[in-house]
Chains A and B, each alone.
Chain A
């Protein structure tokens, strides 16, 4: 190309190429969400599709994001020191990993890689900056590995006791649920009750798959009016396999999803079995840890023990969307209630302090009880009286 005049076509590429690139950058996400037209199904048919799903092994990338309107705090830093001390299991360090991770998930967005090789094989990789946390579950072994500290924790499940129960207990303490849209969806499906309207939304594409959208909306008619912050919960169900691929929780009066967990890529081939066969690196510090049994009473000399004394059992009131959980004052460890972070997070309201998010409200009454639920603050205050 030779020298060309300023007013000739020479300047055209400088205008056209950036315009095309910007247009492509904007258009591609739209195209990904281009209209999908699947054969119509009733909500019952989609629910049946989920129930009949036989997918047991898959791998994929999951993106989780939360926009709860929380003040932006470095939760992991604030919690890992003080909160871990508050919990009786903290001596072994197993819980802080699960705990801080779970707390982290309440703000911002996160990316995981998820590998599921069957009922008792799974691996979650939390991608951190120049680091990674792994949770590998393989039969009776659970490995937690944190590359930033090069520390591994080995939990052995006692197979003689009810393996299922222990597995469930373990799962409740690990962020695996939050990382797996399929399991998260199961929770919502378990909770179906008459206060919920189920409908099928517009078909879409998630992680390159065509999906039905099951939309659960709290019933708003006069007789069964529910008082909740949740606007709706949608579950994207893969039309071919019935596997839920994405869960989106919308809060009242907020357009951005309050919580969204979904696959950005998924592969239904069984992952390489070697992935679940974790051997800690030779240089890592390994901690062996037996899982505490969920039914055994603790010795009672630890503060904030979980032994089910009458005055420490949480009380559940209400039902469905407007369920309120009340934790008696005696069940709250002092380390939690005295945590300075609490002051930062909560604001003073009538009768106590409150933490309000777009989806969940927590009310700490002046007498030390804690109420929480996906309901407006007033409902909690009413329950406290």
Chain B
């Protein structure tokens, strides 16, 4: 990603972006590159610095060092030119509990000097409809469930057509149905040409929603690119189920692989071997095994999964549920 056109085509670009809280480094010199038009997953475990980075991107807090450019303009210097084109959900939704959902959106809309007054009611109505909250528009927010607040927070980001949406953990607190709705919402926004920058600690969510991703770990950016690029980094491997483990290990070693005995269930044992840079075709391996007298109950070549990749990048504690 060095070409002039591509750099100009970045919706978000940071160089050496860092934030320290006292002596603690929350964000450690990250170089984010979010192409325009992408759905960009900003993935990382809790406390890895995602929200802190987003606050800096939006001019809420000041970087300790590094530069930020959003929609081609430097932040926070050109904040007033940039932010009208950005919709955001940061660190969860926040509203006036004593106002209704619609009144909350109207209030936040008046804060945007570029939001026309004449269309305000209609836009609020439209945004509520888009997140499926029309029925609760006149309910006070203190009576909203967490999921409803989350939807309202997304609606707030959608009050005007945006070039960039920054959504910090948008599916937190949503039920599976809500999660699916958010996903399809993101897809439809992306189809309209909006760049969506979505942070999450859930791998599955990113895999299903995004075209690009970056992985944060303890304040550092450890990987970045399209999902395909990220997957390519891993290795394919042989997954063999057999009652003759000793023979299998011998044959595979002979082929130049480095097999290990993995789990064993009641009758069968599982042998795993990374293919590495050997160019063995699956049928050749099976032929060799059969020739070596190994009974094959199951055989597969496993493609690398993002999950393993992220576990490798961010450590075992990674929350990869669902």
Contact = CB atoms under 8 A, between A and B. Distances in A.
A8 to B, nearest CB: 10
A10 to B, nearest CB: 10
Contacts of A4: 62, 76
A3 B60 contact: yes
Interface string B42-65: 000000000000000001111000
Interface in A1-33: 2-6
B94 interface: no
B80 A2 contact: yes
A2 B80 CA distance: 8
A2 B79 CA distance: 7
B77 interface: yes
A115 B134 CA distance: 72
Most B-side CB within 10 Å, residue of A2, A4, A5, A6:
A2
Contact of A6 (B59, B62, B77, B80): B62
A372 to B, nearest CB: 72
A5 to B, nearest CB: 6
How many chain B residues sit at the interface, stated as a range, is: under 10
10 contacts: A2-B76, A2-B77, A2-B80, A3-B59, A3-B76, A3-B79, A4-B62, A4-B76, A5-B62, A6-B62
A19 to B, nearest CB: 26
Most A-side CB within 10 Å, residue of B61, B62, B79:
B62
Interface of A: 2-6
Interface in B67-93: 76-77, 79-80
A6 B60 CA distance: 14
Nearest to A8: B62
A3 B80 contact: no
Contacts of B62: 3-6
Contacts, number: 15
Contacts of B80: 2
A3 B74 CA distance: 13
Nearest to A10: B62
Which 10 A-B pairs rank lowest in CB-CB distance, beginning with the nearest? A2-B79, A3-B76, A2-B76, A3-B59, A3-B62, A2-B59, A5-B62, A2-B80, A3-B60, A3-B79
Nearest to A5: B62
A2 B60 CA distance: 9
A7 to B, nearest CB: 10
Most B-side CB within 10 Å, residue of A3, A4, A6:
A3
A65 B59 CA distance: 58
A3 B75 CA distance: 10
Contacts of A5: 62
A5 B79 CA distance: 14
Nearest to B83: A2
A346 to B, nearest CB: 66
A4 B62 CA distance: 7
B67 to A, nearest CB: 13
Contacts of A2: 59, 76-77, 79-80
A2 B61 CA distance: 10
A4 B80 CA distance: 13
Interface string B116-152: 0000000000000000000000000000000000000
Contacts of B77: 2
Nearest to B82: A2
A6 B80 CA distance: 19
Nearest to A6: B62
A3 B60 CA distance: 7
Contacts of B59: 2-3
B47 to A, nearest CB: 24
Nearest to B59: A3
Contacts of B60: 3
Contacts of A3: 59-62, 76, 79
A3 to B, nearest CB: 5
A3 B80 CA distance: 11
A9 to B, nearest CB: 13
A44 B76 CA distance: 74
B248 to A, nearest CB: 62
B79 to A, nearest CB: 4
A219 B273 CA distance: 120
Nearest to B61: A3
Nearest to B79: A2
A77 to B, nearest CB: 53
A2 B59 CA distance: 8
Given A3-B61, A5-B62, A6-B62, 6 more contacts: A2-B59, A2-B77, A2-B80, A3-B60, A3-B79, A4-B76
A318 B17 CA distance: 91
B307 to A, nearest CB: 38
Interface in B98-116: none
Nearest to B78: A2
A5 B56 CA distance: 12
Contacts of B76: 2-4
Nearest to B58: A3
A3 B62 CA distance: 7
A156 B286 CA distance: 135
B238 to A, nearest CB: 55
